[in-house]
Amino acid sequence: MNRRDVIKNVALMLGGAFSAPTLMAMNHWESPTKSYPSVATFNLTQTQRNIVAEIAELILPKTTAPNDASPGAKDVGVPAFIEMMMKDCYLQPEQMSFIEGLEKMEQVKFLELNDNERKGILKYLEQETKAEMKARQMKQTKMGDNDDHEDIKKVAKGLPFWRLIKELTLLGYFTSEEGIKASFEYVQIPGKVENIKLKPNQKSYAY
């Protein structure tokens, strides 16, 4: 899929809600980005922090419906968690790809877009990432064949930005105290293991 196809798909998905500013923003998508920082200096600017927070909150927003009131990513400290994790647990390829993703967001002026437009961008990102992950996976399966040992060293490109921020948002949220308790039935010491029947609307157990 090329970029035009992805945009077309996303526009279809959103029911035509792909606004002119979003489309315009898309034109800056592939403009060259700034030089990459080195690992030692993985540091976000305030603008980038705001973008991380807004994206995290769009992924897991605060909800207030009576049957589903739960905190959002921002409420439980996910943005700071993401930055800490990117710094502590990832190496240069991922850190670079994360920064590169944020720079793209800056270029499309993400923070100036309205809610719908932001969602459009994320949908686009999602589709683009999906194609990229699929390509990576195919490469991996191929390498899994044992005949292709040499290839493994070539996978130097970090995981895509969307994959990183989504995983870390989910991880940070669903393992936070408020996130766990609002989302699941948290059982610290089950005391037994048994097969049960699921009750309607039953939440997952978390341990």
Partner 1 sequence: MYLNIKATKNNTFDAIVVGSGMTGGFAAKELTEKGLNVLMIERGREIKHPQDYDTAMKQPWEVKHRGKVTAHSAEELWANKRFGNLANDESGPFFTNDKDNPYIEKRPFDWIRAYHTGGKSMHWGRQSYRFNKEDFEANAKEGIGIDWPIRYDDLAPWYTYVEKFVGVSGQKEGLDVLPDGHFLPAMPLFAPEVHFKKMMLEKFNRPVTVGRVANLSQPQEWHTKLGRASCQYRNKCVRGCPYGAYYSSLSGAIPAANLTKRLSMLHDTIVAEILYDEQKQRATGVRVINQITNQVEEYFAKIIFLNAGAMNTAALMLNSKSNRFQNGLGNDSDQVGRNIMDHHLGVGATATVEGFLDDYVYGQRPNALYIPRFRNWGNDKQSYLRGFGYQGGASREGWSRGVNADGFGGDFKQSLTKPGQWTIGFGGFGEVLPNPENRMYLDPTRKDQWGVPMIVFDAAFGENEIAMRKDIMNSAMEMMDAAGFKNIAGYNRPEVHLGLGIHEMGTARMGRDAKTSVLNAFNQVHSVKNVFVTDGAAMTSSSCVNPSITYMALTARAADYAVKALKKREL
> Which of 2, 35, 46, 195 touches partner 1 by CB under 8 A?
195
Closer by beta carbon to partner 1, 104 or else 118: 118
Q: In Å, how far are 39, 44, 61, 182 from 169, measured between CA atoms? A: 21, 17, 11, 16
Are the CB atoms for 163 and 129 separated by under 8 Å? yes
Which residues from 152-171 bind partner 1, rule CB under 8 A?
Answer: 152, 163, 166-167, 170-171
- Minimum Å distance from CB 14 to partner 1? 12
CA-to-CA distance for 191 and 181, rounded, in angstroms?
A: 19
Tallying the residues shown for the chain, one arrives at 207
- Minimum Å distance from CB 178 to partner 1? 9
Q: Which one, of 154, 133, 116, 151, lies nearest residue 25 by Cα? A: 116
Residue range at the interface with partner 1 (CB under 8 A); choices 20-28, 44-52, 102-110, 198-206: 198-206
Build a one-symbol-per-residue string for 117-136: x at contacts with partner 1 by CB under 8 A, - elsewhere.
--x--x---x---x--x---
- Minimum Å distance from CB 107 to partner 1? 21
The helix (run of H) or strand (run of E) holding residue 62 is none
CA-to-CA distance for 89 and 103, rounded, in angstroms?
A: 21
Q: Which one, of 136, 125, 155, 133, lies nearest residue 55 by Cα? A: 125
Residue range at the interface with partner 1 (CB under 8 A); choices 1-9, 23-31, 58-66, 102-110: 58-66
- Minimum Å distance from CB 67 to partner 1? 9
- Minimum Å distance from CB 27 to partner 1? 24
Are the CB atoms for 203 and 177 separated by under 8 Å? no
> Which of 35, 88, 154, 156 touches partner 1 by CB under 8 A?
88
> Which of 7, 59, 96, 105 touches partner 1 by CB under 8 A?
59
Q: Which one, of 35, 48, 167, lies nearest residue 96 by Cα? A: 35
Is residue 41 involved in binding partner 1 (CB under 8 A)? Answer: no
CA-to-CA distance for 82 and 6, rounded, in angstroms?
A: 27
Is residue 93 involved in binding partner 1 (CB under 8 A)? Answer: no
Closer by beta carbon to partner 1, 33 or else 131: 131
